[in-house]
Amino acid sequence: MIPDHTQPRLADGVRLEIDGTTGKGVLLFPEGIIELNETAQEIVTRCDGRPLSEIVLGLAREYDADLEMLAADVRETLADLQRRKLVKLA
Amino acid sequence: MNAPRPYALLAEITYRCPLHCPYCSNPTRMRNNGELTTGEWGRVIREAAGLGVLQIGFSGGEPLARRDLAELIHGAREARLYTNLITSGVGLDANRARELRDAGLDSVQLSFQSDHVDLADEIAGANAHQRKLDAAANIRAAGIPLSLNFVIHRRNIDRLPQIIELTETLGAVRVELANVQFYGWAFLNRAALLPTREQVARAREVANAAKTRLTGKIDIFYVLPDYYETRPKPCLNGWGQRYLTVNPLGDVLPCPTASSAIPNLRFENVRERPLDWIWRESESFNRFRGTEWMPEPCRSCPQKEIDFGGCRCQAALLTGNAANTDPVCTLSPNRAQVDAVLRDLDQSSGHTREWTPRVNPRKAAIRPNA
């Protein structure tokens, strides 16, 4: 399990943008584009060096969501993005 | 017809290049007078972003030959595009690398001809290999993510293990090992460049083993040589679906090789028409859009939304008609064209054949950049 103190950041060469055509968040990287769903976009927006615990708390406040379920969702999303080398966990 | 939105623009900003690779996909007949100006490229980039484009690749020729490259990158970043530089690296010293990074360059794809200086320089027709090694170091020192591109062909395919070793040494995050595709100069030089079936089989094993070994370290993309395939490549994910190219003279192409491969199709120019109109309305972008244009065997084929009938340029080059099924497909009535090329190679594979090195466009006055 990804620990609470992990500080996720976008991997080198990966940029978060808002797609002007759809209004949705996209990750841009060499030769690739991934459209993010709303949850993933909210998470990735916060991948700026703050610890995982803070990301979860911030989202919980904003969405009034169950903390444990939210933490599981965030971990799953980050693990997926890490597998695709779009996010680095340190 | 309803046009989808494009995602990526390939900006071929010049045909000038210090290298002479015999597999260059540029047209074998080029002009270099009348390159688009800095201001014109700025407009093209903004119009592309307005159409939905999210990524731009600066290519050529050698894009570093344009002194306004940093300015063009800056313009693309202002339009919120992801910026890639596709370069030979010749001319990319430490200062230039920092200049491009400061302009907002997101990523560099650096091409190599081989792992070893002698063969690499022979293929490039220039003393380029050491300068590329220096460029790789400069790119990394500037903190720009580095991808490597190798075009694989008969003369370097047996060195795939060493080539992969080089990518590890250079700290690349991504490497494209692309078997040569036969357009432009490569079509002209096909007899010298096409690898044998045995070479292709060995290379595939090497590439697959390296992919497994380097998982999580380097992303390896191995592009198959399509003459040896039985189904065509899904070229461009369909004509006029996701990609557009603007060439140095401002012609807008569904594919970079279309203007030379399909001479009877009229391509529009950004000096005469807005990009939006060209993408949505022009004859050239609509001719092979979707599946309505398809002949048999594509028309009734369950694969037609998967490979889109293959490559229009290849159909034009090998069968004389861009609307035919890509003759790489074994269902194509023209597959014999491809088989004849492979058979000819089998009978003469012991010989090293000469190739014609790429030459630069005719020397003509280059308009100063406005």
pLDDT per position as a tens digit, B321-355:
999 999 999 999 999 999 999 999 888 766 678 99
Does A15 sit within 8 Å of B82, measured CB to CB? yes
Rounded Cα distance, B189 and B29, in Å: 14
* Angle at alpha carbon of residue B235, lines to B329 and B223, rounded to 5°: 85
What residues of chain A lie within 8 A of the CB of B219, using their CB? 85
pLDDT of residue B2: 78
| A72 touching B (Cβ < 8 Å) | no
pLDDT confidence band for B363 (50 / 70 / 90): low
Q: Residues 23 to 62 of A: which have CB under 8 A from any B CB?
A: 26, 28-31, 33
User: Beta partners for B148?
Assistant: B110, B175
Residue A79 lies in a domain: yes
Does B55 sit within 8 Å of A33, measured CB to CB? yes
Residue A49 lies in a domain: yes
pLDDT of residue B30: 84
pLDDT confidence band for B1 (50 / 70 / 90): low
CATH for A48: 1.10.10.1150
Rounded Cα distance, B286 and B278, in Å: 9
- The percentage of chain B sitting over the pLDDT mark of 70, rounded to a whole number, equals 97
pLDDT of residue B353: 80
Residue A25 lies in a domain: yes
Per-residue pLDDT reduced to its tens digit, B102-120: 999 999 999 999 999 999 9
B253 touches B26 (CB < 8 A) = no
Whether residue B365 is predicted with pLDDT greater than 70 in this model: the reply is: no
Three-state SS string over chain B comes to: CCCCCCCEEEEECCCCCCCCCCCCCCCCCCECCCCCCHHHHHHHHHHHHHHCCCEEEEECCCHHHCCCHHHHHHHHHHCCCEEEEEECCCCCCHHHHHHHHHHCCCEEEEEECCCCHHHHHHHHCCCCHHHHHHHHHHHHHCCCCEEEEEEECCCCHHHHHHHHHHHHHCCCCEEEEEECCCCHHHHHCHHHHCCCHHHHHHHHHHHHHHHHHCCCCCEEEEECCHHHCCCCCCHHHCCCCCEEEECCCCEEECCCCHHHHCCCCCCCECCCCCHHHHHHHCHHHHCCCCCCCCCCCCCCCCCHHHHCCCCHHHHHHHHCCCCCCCCCCCCCCCHHHHHHHHHHHHCCCCCCCCCCCCCCCECCCCCCCC
Residue A2 lies in a domain: no
**Six token digits for residue A17:** 């943008």
Does A20 sit within 8 Å of B82, measured CB to CB? no
Average pLDDT of the residues in B8-25: 97
Residue B139 one-letter amino acid = I
Rounded Cα distance, B236 and B288, in Å: 12
Whether residue B369 is predicted with pLDDT greater than 50 in this model: the reply is: no
Per-residue pLDDT reduced to its tens digit, B215-239: 888 999 999 899 999 999 999 999 9
Return mean pLDDT, chain B: 94
pLDDT confidence band for A66 (50 / 70 / 90): confident
Residue A1 lies in a domain: no
Does A17 sit within 8 Å of B174, measured CB to CB? no
Residue A48 lies in domain: 8-89
Does B107 sit within 8 Å of A29, measured CB to CB? yes
- The percentage of chain A sitting over the pLDDT mark of 90, rounded to a whole number, equals 77
Rounded Cα distance, B8 and B56, in Å: 6
Least confident of B187-196, B287-296, B351-360: B351-360
Residue A46 lies in a domain: yes
Residue A3 lies in a domain: no
Average pLDDT of the residues in A30-54: 94
**Six token digits for residue B91:** 């001319």
User: For chain A, how many structural domains are there in total?
Assistant: 1
Residue B173 one-letter amino acid = V
Residue B143 CA, chain-centre distance (Å), reads: 25
Average pLDDT of the residues in B172-179: 94
pLDDT of residue B349: 63
The chain B residues in contact with chain A (CB within 8 A) are 5, 7, 49, 52, 54-55, 80, 82, 84, 106-107, 109, 143-145, 147, 173-174, 216, 219
Q: Which residue of B has its CA nearest to A18?
A: B80
pLDDT of residue B23: 97
pLDDT of residue B350: 64
Closest CA to B226 of B114, B340, B338: B338
Residue A14 lies in a domain: yes
Per-residue pLDDT reduced to its tens digit, B27-59: 998 877 799 999 999 999 999 999 999 999 999
The pTM of the whole model exceeds 0.80: yes
Average pLDDT of the residues in B21-26: 96
The question of ipTM being above 0.95 is answered as: no
Average pLDDT of the residues in A12-22: 95
